[in-house]
Amino acid sequence: MGLRPVCAIVSSMIRRISAISLALLVAGGASFAADLTEQYRATADKLIDAALADTEGYNRLAYLCYRIGNRLSGSAGLEKAIAWSVETMKAAGLSNVRVIPAKVPHWVRGAESARMLTPVDRPLHMLGLGMSIGTPPGGITADVVAVATFEDLAKLGRARIQGKIVLYNEEYRGYGPTRVYRATGAARAAAFGAVAALVRSATPLAMQIPHTGEMNYDEAQPKIPAAAVSPEDAMMMARLAADGVPVKVHLEMGAQTLPDADSGDVIGEIPGREHPEEVVVMGGHIDSWDVGQGAQDDGASIVACLQAVALMKKLGLEPRRTIRVAFWVNEENGGRGGEAYRQFVGDKIKDHAAAIEMDGGAEAPRGFGAGVNAPSLTMLQQIGKLLERIGAGEITTGGGGSDIGPLLRDGVPGLGERTVGTHYFDWHHTEADTLDKVNPEDFRKNVAALAVMGYALADMPERLVAAAGGRRGPSQ
């Protein structure tokens, strides 16, 4: 027999052995995961029962929303919220409560307004975009050119854009595809000589409510003022422009960026009974935009995470690993809190067993998305079965969030808590993001889902494995 046939036979045998080994591994993982469901059923039921009966968590959220309010980075409101968070974590009995220092941007909105002068004189519903510059004293008055896409912008060219205000009237097609006009629209318009940019708010709901959010400049282009307008106002101006009717707008914005301010993340924990050096961290961002109360984005999330851990403490539960709650700072306009936390972790990153982020509001929970490998996903799906009684048992691939992004980049398995999200983008970044939008029953279900998932990940013998990482064995 020649060398090639021998190699072919050996290669075939290796493939068969690998397939059998993989099947055994998956089967073993499934068996282990099935054991997880029964192993944690009693504890999960206790946590769920406690969460559904709890009123303390919602009362804490009410305090944050009604007595502190919105919490933009650099503001007095944020620093008041951080001090309150430290006190509240200590009152909940958590250990090692501390503030991780971080320098954050300090953008101030100032007085602002927009008014259509022709063909009808009327005010526009607007909010300046975060990190925008202000207008010159006295404002800017200019004709409006309307586009739906960046391709439309390029077709108009400099000759038709120079000296004008560009209006982006992009129809809402989901937050991700639509927010790009908010993020980079001003820079792209400036490249063609525009003097300002107006962006249709990224929302499916037209209720004359403008939505703010972060925008970014291109250092290669001039900086021009940028603001969001309500969908109705954007559609009106775009229709007038399409009909050949000249539209003139006067825009005034007193926005300015001050030197970075001192701030920080807040963390507290229940130390692990066997492996305190290993950590499961879960949380959301404590900062919000400077409108509304930051209730759904992201006050409900941080308080739900805190209350999940507080209930573990009340029930006397001590997981194998440390369970840590984190209130990250500056998610909205910089991401400095996530980076500061990563620096705080340092070379102990290998001891982070999992990271859970909640940043999608506190409507009825569906489950979790997870960036883990197949055997780990099987384990999570079995834990998910414990949450079926509250409708939160759906475990799918893909999970994480911007605050835990720095951890995920270094191999930490990440999960994102998911809700039905029916109305989240109706309220997102608006004056309407207030406590009344948080249904107490849905909030308690979110607390329950976080408590069960957080405790199970902190206590189960085997650790999760990130989708692109190597397999971790049981804690040593």
Which residues form the catalytic set? Answer: 331
- Exposed, middle or buried by CB within 10 Å (0-12, 13-18, 19+), for 344? middle
Residues 6+ apart with CB under 8 A from 350: 411
Report how far residue 333's alpha carbon sits from residue 330's, in angstroms, rounded to the nearest whole number.
6
> What count of other Cβ atoms lies within 10 Å of the Cβ of residue 218?
13
Number of alpha carbons in the 13 Å side-chain half-sphere of residue 476? 4
Helix (H, G, I), strand (E, B) or coil at 94: coil
Report how far residue 219's alpha carbon sits from residue 204's, in angstroms, rounded to the nearest whole number.
32
- Which residue blocks in 288-335 are alpha helix, DSSP H? 300-314
Q: What string of DSSP letters covers 335-399?
A: -HHHHHHHHHHGGGGGGEEEEEE--S-SSSEEEEEEEB-HHHHHHHHHHHHTTGGGT--EEEE--
| Nearest 10 degrees: Cα torsion 236, 241, 246, 250 | 50
Type of residue at 436: D
